[in-house]
Amino acid sequence: MTQPNHFQGKPIKACIYIRSHVTNQELSLREQTEACQKYIEKKSWVASDIFCDKCGGIMAQDKPMLQLMIKRAESGCFDKVIAYSFDRLSRSTIDLLNLKNTFDRYNVELCSITTENDDSNCIGE
């Protein structure tokens, strides 16, 4: 078993955010969760909470579990948010950038496991 990656002497904690706009898409939610868990394991991070919204709202304020995740980020509960793709967080580019700025204030990085992006598929500075 690999040792967790560390940041400033602490294991990196990553939560998972999944979303489906159709309430009967349980398989899709399960697939998102499993893929994100495998990604966290591959990176040797420590998995924390899973936040799941079953709604079709475009903006972050329309997603209750995303709002809870933001509050938990403010409390320092995790270092990274892992999503299957950035559009699971928001389908609005402006809203996604606002989310990034919010999470930056709490030193939390947003990561997509399916978006090609250098440096671990996270939205960086």
Q: What is the 3-state secondary structure (H, E, C) of the chain?
A: CCCCCEECCEECEEEEEEEECCCCCHHHHHHHHHHHHHHHHHHCCEEEEEEEEECCCCCHHHCHHHHHHHHHHHCCCCCEEEECCHHHHCCCHHHHHHHHHHHHHCCCEEEECCCCCCCCCECCC
Beta bridge partners of 20: 54
Could you tell me if residue 123 is inside a domain? no
pLDDT tens, position by position, 31-71 = 999 999 999 999 999 999 999 998 766 677 788 999 999 99
The CATH number linked to 19 is 3.40.50.1390
Q: Which domain holds residue 57?
A: 10-112
pLDDT at 23: 58
Could you tell me if residue 67 is inside a domain? yes
Tell which wins on pLDDT, 25 or 14: 14
pLDDT tens, position by position, 73-92 = 999 999 999 999 998 998 88
What is the count of structural domains for the chain?
A: 1
Could you tell me if residue 22 is inside a domain? yes
Could you tell me if residue 120 is inside a domain? no
Question: Confidence class of residue 4 from pLDDT cuts 50, 70 and 90?
Answer: low
